[in-house]
Amino acid sequence: MKGHGAKFGRKQEDAIAALLTHRTTEEAARAVGIGVSTLLRWMKEQEFDTAYREARRSAFTQSVARLHQASSAAVNTLLKIMVDPASPPGTKVRAAEYVLDHAAKTIEIEDLEARVEELERSTEVSRPRRWGQVQR
């Protein structure tokens, strides 16, 4: 039941949260106190689907941000393993290989970004201007 400008009801909001935190739709429906068929019907509704996809996207974005925050610790771990005299030689080599591979990938990405920027600049320069159009 809609009301007070809400997009949809409290149960539907709870259902979205349950879908994000439970393994199956059955578990999510049970957690909210609704039938599975009701939840499946809601999932077919455009408004519910849009809100659910937005919530999933937001949760994923938060997860990626956590990965970025942990990347410094991950690099420290790799470097410690790589230089630790007690680390087995194979483990040290693997850590070193991983560090070098990712450093090389970073350089490749930076080079590609520079090339794309140059192509974009050259495209803008060679694009014919229309009368009255301001050049950047």
Question: Which tens digits make up the pLDDT trace of 7-44?
Answer: 579 999 999 999 999 999 999 999 999 999 999 999 99
Q: pLDDT-derived band of residue 4, with 50, 70 and 90 as boundaries? A: very low
What pLDDT score was predicted for residue 129?
66
Q: How far is CA 87 from the centre of its chain?
A: 34
Distance CA 124, CA 133 (A): 13
Q: What is the pTM of this model?
A: 0.56
- How far are the Cα atoms of 2, 27, 58 from residue 49, in angstroms, in the given order? 16, 18, 14
